[in-house]
Structure 1
């Protein structure tokens, strides 16, 4: 596609101009003239942004159609057909095609909607005389005659999203750069007039407003605050999450803690969170550990025939010592991983009501016991060497997860913080600067324009502590239904010293201690962990909870 001029950013402090849609009910409002098809205008709106902003938005929406509606999971690019599909590149008076692409739309609920292939053609119009320049995207669903169009796609044969530049004024007197408009080719059986109460109109209204919002965001220099999928591929994670959600739909849809039925939706969300964490862990382990030579069958074979199918993850890598969920709460995450063939167990202070709903073999892997990091062993059963430790919303235990991982030769760890604690007290600092140089947490949050705050400060402190123990620490904004979705992953303990060779002392209070050598090797990290544990033991700072679980859910 030919290059477009860049647009000057708007003042970031300026509010987005109002979206002022105008329904169109007659063919005279059309902006395009097709040589073969009749286009019906649906609605238009003033565009307070120039053509380059619209063009950038179209590029982004072609790659990420899920931004236009919650029923779409993502798009997969497809190669153009050879030879081209007859009629896929339509001819319009005054417009020239500049780019042809195809994509496969994947539904978020595959049991309800199917996939759909679209041909996407971008057109350009030059600035000639009184006619301003413009750009247009025409989307054509590729359907067999007997196939029905999925619910997430409007029931049209073609949809055109158009931008034309011209000096206009909005109703509030603000100057607009041009106009955005949607026109469609209706199926033969559809009424010639599109009601503003119809689903088609509402869908087009949402698409036009999304285009308006994102185009203005591009003009004003908007940056996405959170960057996902840093540690794992997005598509692979989404596919596995959808499969696990379907395989464990009984627990996801009917999850209950014996509470008020009005809380049912909340409990379902928590069940989906456990499915999301399970998918993340399975892919992380696949990446970090060698594949199995012999497939690992689910531990619960025979209890649920639906689980006995051979899945591709039966040979995926996994921690040699299994997993240990410290503060396992409702036990669903443990149950899912066990059913999918992974070894491990969960521990919480007291049994939850939900544990009784699991099979006897799952219950055998859920242990009600106190977790005391200062004791030896800290938990019963003891932590196996090579285990992967998990602390999901583990509160006071959160900073102890990497510490215990170091002391007990774990192979890795994941913490998803909720309430912020140091080793001995609440974490109250609202700012914290890493003393190990530029941290990944600081870099990632600065990329998204995040300011300060306790969440950022706590993540920086946890990252610094993990690195000081000799771990390579990564940050991921987990794709799960929770506002507390930051995960810190400890992987592949680092050997060797950093170049400047300064030692690190971590006091948990955000105070810098200068002039010492940094500790990054596994051996020195282990030494620091032992010293820190003894310091906490002498101070009597950690108090074991009694009678109440301190894990998630």
Structure 2
């Protein structure tokens, strides 16, 4: 029996609209409270991409409760606050649709959102009004109190032809959650209450349709299941935004800003990059990841290098301002060179190097090829300490880059923890700003190494470092039970940036070294198709504070000799893991030459050989 055979009028139809439902669209014996349903529904309102892969996001244009933030409000709350270019009045140009009345229900909240599709050349945006209602009824004869939550979705279209592909082909959609609990006993115990969630919709046809398209049936069932799954999940707990906030997500640049630039870059460059891919690896993953990183960097650099606020000027004017004052970048361990190509094509001057030349480099325009160098990085501290000889035919660099250069360390592996060290050595009085996205964990010598989780702060801290660190592999907790261990492992899977994971420990180590050298450090979860997605930004606040100072990036002043001594002390301390400075330098040079000759693992990104 199909869905069309079980359709019937809905209790919501009492308001005169053609609301219908079906026993197939009901889930019973649920045990989460109404406030949990409201919070999970709010989370889905803000993140429609969880139910449709065709959507980027939903921009909130209005929330009567003020809980979900508009694009302009998000920009004000992040690092880009002083460069807000969103016109608030333009956001409110669309009015929410009036809230229909439902018997005995009270309107509690109204939200207006705008769907942003991934493929904006194929699908158009769509505005949608969402109304929350509530109702409480006491049934003395049954000894229960019933709490009802109603959520109504009203899309802003008038005909079936206007419905975009990613939206169900209905005039309206509703979710009704009814939760019954005993009048007597512990009212806070959800185990003594049960709930029922049902889905209702308004078809375009009059009355009850004879048939329901399979796609609509599948979509309704999927939406119902998603609501139940999120509300039942162990991580579900009540809060106003309907999600557990991740402090490092969208904290530097708002989601909508990065995604808008990503969509523009993808439309402009993705096709040609994939067509001309010359590596053995699958192209789309690498291309889309580097486009996403380029989008983030472009928006980050607008914050750092645009001298003045745009005051409503066109976006292209803001981009020109950023590129004209941009001091240049270097992409260390640049791999296939896609990032260098993209940034150069967008007007940002810079270059990249890698220990081994890639086939893809020959596919780029000559102007980009000139900016890709086959070179191995031998930091000056290692070069002076090592006894190994480097062949004259091998091009090298010491990591001392030009003044104010922005360092990109994208899955640079061996160079990851060197990133802040190179920035400090290149410009001791004002270390170079950087973005590091860690991947595989290596020691200062380049050897594979798993850093221990950072120690919790104590009354006595070891300022001389930790020379007694051991090469541990997945150490087990000394105390606790299997339940606690399982919870820790699940948390690591959901958030690889936790310090207890290998990746989290590497991230914490990189942050620690940067802070030890005087960097102000920010962390953010990058929106890239990779589980290795934590971005570490060094020097952002220093550069923001220096705006208007003719490009002088000097924040806290450091004596050149003092900084060089400090870096050397850090390197010597970290080299103790490998037998001292001379031994670590020898290992570094041997591994670098091996990478140059194409021996060993090659350039790795995300566990796969990077093109």
Q: TM-score range by the shorter chain?
A: 0.7 to 0.9
Gaps of 5+ in 1: 1-21, 169-173, 295-308, 439-444, 496-519
**Range with bigger deviation, 311-320 or 412-421:** 311-320
- Given the superposition, is the C-alpha separation of residues 200 and 110 from structure 1 closer, same or farther in structure 2, using an over 3 Å criterion? same
How far did 1:289 drift? 2.6
Residue in 1 that maps onto 2:597: 547
Say if 2:40 and 2:227, in contact at 8 Å, map to a contact too.
Answer: yes
Rounded Cα–Cα distance in structure 2 between residues aligned with 1:494 and 1:239:
27
Residues 208-287 of structure 1 correspond to what in structure 2 (within 5 A)? Answer: 208-217=224-233, 221=237, 223=244, 227-254=248-275, 256-259=277-280, 266-287=282-303
1:178 maps to what in 2?
A: 195
The correspondence of residues 303-318 of structure 1 with structure 2, limited to 5 A, is 312-316=318-322
Per the TM alignment, residue 288 of structure 1 is displaced from its structure 2 partner at its CA by 2.2
Is residue 330 of structure 2 the alignment partner of residue 324 of structure 1?
yes
Q: 1:250 Cα deviation (Å)?
A: 2.0
Q: 2:502 aligns with which of 454, 466, 479?
A: 454
* Partner residue, 1:394: 412
Tell me which residue corresponds to 1:45.
27
Partner of 1:484: 532
Q: Superposed, which structure 2 residues align to 1:471-510 within 5 Å?
A: 471-491=519-539
Contact 1:158 1:184 in 2 (8 A): yes
CA–CA distance in 1 between the matches of 2:531 and 2:398?
32
> Which shows bigger deviation, 486-495 or 229-238?
486-495
- Determine if the alignment matches structure 1 residue 432 to structure 2 residue 475: no
**Which residue is equivalent to 1:112?**
122
Shift of 1:94: 3.0
User: Which residue of the partner structure matches residue 18 of structure 1?
Assistant: none
Q: 1:269 Cα deviation (Å)?
A: 1.0
- Contact kept, 8 Å, 2:57 with 2:116, in 1: the verdict is yes
Q: Which has the higher contact order (CA 8 A, sep 6+)?
A: 2
Deviation, 1:50, is 1.7
**Does the residue aligned with 1:32 lie in a helix, a strand or coil?**
helix
Q: 2:515 aligns with which of 467, 480, 498?
A: 467
Q: Give the CA deviation at 1:24.
A: 7.9
Q: Relative to total residues, which structure has the larger helix share, 1 or 2? A: 2
Match of 1:124 among 134, 144, 159: 134
Distance 2:204 2:214 in 1: 15
The correspondence for 1:335, drawn from 341, 364, 367, is 341
Cα drift, residue 252 of structure 1:
4.9
Deviation of 1:404 after TM superposition, in Å, equals: 0.9
User: Partners of 1:436 and 1:334 in 2: how far apart?
Assistant: 44
Structure 2 equivalent of residue 192 of structure 1: 209
Unaligned runs of 5+ in 2: 65-91, 183-190, 238-242, 385-394, 462-490, 544-555, 576-580
Describe the SS at the equivalent of 1:228. Answer: coil
* Pair 200,55 (structure 1): closer, same or farther in 2 beyond 3 Å: same
Match of 1:505 in 2: none
TM-score, normalised to structure 2, is 0.70
Once residues 60 and 130 of structure 2 are traced to their aligned partners in structure 1, the CA distance between those partners, rounded to angstroms, is 11
Q: Structure 1 residues 106-115 or 379-388, which shifts more? A: 379-388
| Residue 367 (structure 1) aligned with residue 373 (structure 2) | yes
Q: What CA distance in whole angstroms lies between the structure 1 residues aligned with 2:363 and 2:539? A: 34
| Greater mean alpha carbon deviation, residues 543-552 or residues 231-240 | 543-552
Q: Structure 1 CA distance, aligned partners of 2:521 and 2:324?
A: 19
Inter-partner Cα distance in structure 2 for 1:61 and 1:485: 23
Aligned CA RMSD, in angstroms, stands at 3.7
Q: Does 1:34 align with 2:34?
A: no
Aligned to 2:218: 202
Could you tell me how far 1:30 is from its partner in structure 2?
2.8
Counterpart contact for 1:392–1:551, Cα < 8 Å: no
- DSSP-derived class of the 2:41 partner: helix
C-alpha offsets along residues 255-295 of structure 1, whole Å, 9 cap, x if unaligned? 52343xxx6xx42011111011111111222222343899x
